[in-house]
């Protein structure tokens, strides 16, 4: 699974520019599914036909990023946010733009930029080595999106990389599709790789409307409380995938939550319960579809979400595959 995660992390895919991630996923799963199509909005839908209720799994392909808002006469770029960026961690980072231009983010301040906390995005600029507006425009335009320069490092079972939110969720569903035994499937399965989650769970919203599943499960990341001097959150790396109870957007369906817990217990899969007050996932959109969908989520505990150095434990991802497999199969 490690190789798969690495490939996904290196794919360019800020919200609305998910094509590269989509191509990669298509290659990985085309032989595993009955139907593979893109909807009008850009979501990638994989269907494995089965008897019983319809189940929609969702993981988002997009990642947070930046977008060029202005190019000045000296070739410096001004940027806006795509999704919930943490500006403190943006200063001093390398950005890669669509098309390949790379730049360094710095902060406009006459005094001491290195002492400024959470600067306003208007104060940041990107230096792509251009000498004028004209030379900059050969590489980027107003509206060109960029991401943290991808890096991937694994130490034992811990991975450090940007965009694990939510490429790890994509990897889990890809792996699951490869491992599922069709004859044992309890559901008519739709695995949806969604677009534009980071700017308001948009892909999941339209996709679940089209599919109208009986049950929905999102696979995404969640925050943890296992680092020095951090807020008290009961979640930690390597204690198993988290079964969502609540986040800022939703309270999960009791039926799904208890179904997942039962399967985890029965099969000796470690798990933890997730209650957080920040953030939400595609599950929020699925739950509110039409007259309502029974919805839950399986989350991968992740440190430093939305920074260039998100940290996960690969065991949690592997156990998430196991848990979902046991939930879907008889
Ligand atoms: Co996110
Ligand atoms: Zn996410």
Compute the distance from residue 60 Cα to the ligand 2 centre, in Å: 7
Contact 89, 132 (CB under 8 A): no
Instruction: Point out the ligand nearest to the CA of residue 300.
Output: 2
Q: What is the pLDDT of residue 231?
A: 85
Distance CA(268)–CA(278), nearest Å, equals 29
- The per-residue pLDDT for range 6-49, each reduced to its tens digit, is 999 999 999 999 999 999 999 999 999 999 999 999 999 999 99
Q: Which fold has domain 65-148?
A: Elongation Factor Tu (Ef-tu); domain 3 (2.40.30)
Q: What is the rounded average pLDDT of the residues 120-146? A: 97
268: left (phi over 0), alpha (psi -120 to 50) or beta: left
For domain 2-63+162-328, the CATH superfamily is: Zn peptidases (3.40.630.10)
- Which residues fall within 8 angstroms of residue 252, CB to CB, at 6 or more apart? 243, 244, 245, 246, 283, 287, 295, 296, 297
Instruction: Point out the ligand nearest to the CA of residue 220.
Output: 2
Q: What is the pLDDT of residue 143?
A: 98
Confidence of residue 87 (pLDDT cuts 50, 70, 90): confident
Kindly report whether the peptide bond that precedes residue 81 is cis, defined as omega within 30 degrees of 0: no
Compute the distance from residue 68 Cα to the ligand 2 centre, in Å: 23
Q: Percentage of the chain surpassing pLDDT 70?
A: 98
| Catalytically annotated residue among 28, 98, 197, 274 | 197
Distance CA(32)–CA(174), nearest Å, equals 9
Nearest CA to 65 out of 77, 83, 51 is that of 83
Concatenated DSSP letters of 233-274? -S--TTS-PEEEEE-SS-B--HHHHHHHHHHHHHTT---EEE
pLDDT at 113 over 80: no
Give the SS3 label for residue 250. Answer: coil
Residue 116 burial by CB count (10 A; 0-12/13-18/19+): exposed, middle or buried?
middle
Distance CA(256)–CA(217), nearest Å, equals 8
- In the residue annotation, 32 being an active-site residue is answered as no
More confident residue, 238 or 119: 238
Q: What is the pLDDT of residue 108?
A: 85
Compute the distance from residue 281 Cα to the ligand 2 centre, in Å: 6
- The per-residue pLDDT for range 239-253, each reduced to its tens digit, is 999 999 999 999 999
**Residue extents of the structural domains in the chain:** 2-63+162-328, 65-148
Instruction: Point out the ligand nearest to the CA of residue 198.
Output: 1
Q: What is the pLDDT of residue 86?
A: 87
- The per-residue pLDDT for range 45-76, each reduced to its tens digit, is 999 999 999 999 999 999 999 999 999 999 99
Compute the distance from residue 62 Cα to the ligand 2 centre, in Å: 8
């Amino acid at each position: 699974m490690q190789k798969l995660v690495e490939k996904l992390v290196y794919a360019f895919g800020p919200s609305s520019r998910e094509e590269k991630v989509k191509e990669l996923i298509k290659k990985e799963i085309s032989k595993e599914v009955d139907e593979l199509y893109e909807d009008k909005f850009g979501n990638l839908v994989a269907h494995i036909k089965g008897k019983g209720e319809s189940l929609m799994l969702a993981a988002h392909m997009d990642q947070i990023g930046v977008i060029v808002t202005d190019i000045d006469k000296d070739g410096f770029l001004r940027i806006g946010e795509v999704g919930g960026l943490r500006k403190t961690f943006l200063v001093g980072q390398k950005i890669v733009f669509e098309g390949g231009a790379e730049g360094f983010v710095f902060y406009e301040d006459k005094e001491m930029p290195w002492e400024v906390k959470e600067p306003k995005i208007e104060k940041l600029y990107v230096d792509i080595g251009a000498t004028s507006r004209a030379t900059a425009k050969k590489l980027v335009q107003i509206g060109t999106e960029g991401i943290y320069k991808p890096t991937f490092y694994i130490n034992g079972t811990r991975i450090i990389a940007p965009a694990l939110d939510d490429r790890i969720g994509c990897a889990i569903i890809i792996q699951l599709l490869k491992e599922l035994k069709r004859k044992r499937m309890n559901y008519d399965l739709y695995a949806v790789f969604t677009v534009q989650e980071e700017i308001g769970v948009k892909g999941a919203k339209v996709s679940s409307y089209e599919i109208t599943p009986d049950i929905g499960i999102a696979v995404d990341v969640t925050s943890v409380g296992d680092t020095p001097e951090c807020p008290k959150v009961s979640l930690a790396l390597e204690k198993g995938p988290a079964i969502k109870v609540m986040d800022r957007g939703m309270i999960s369906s009791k039926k799904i939550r208890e179904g997942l817990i039962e399967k985890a217990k029965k099969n000796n899969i470690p798990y933890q319960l997730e209650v957080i007050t920040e953030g939400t996932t595609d599950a929020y959109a699925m739950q509110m579809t039409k007259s309502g969908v029974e919805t839950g989520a399986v989350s991968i505990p992740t440190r430093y979400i939305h920074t260039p150095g998100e940290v996960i434990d690969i065991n949690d991802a592997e156990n998430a595959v196991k848990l979902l497999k046991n939930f879907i199969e008889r």
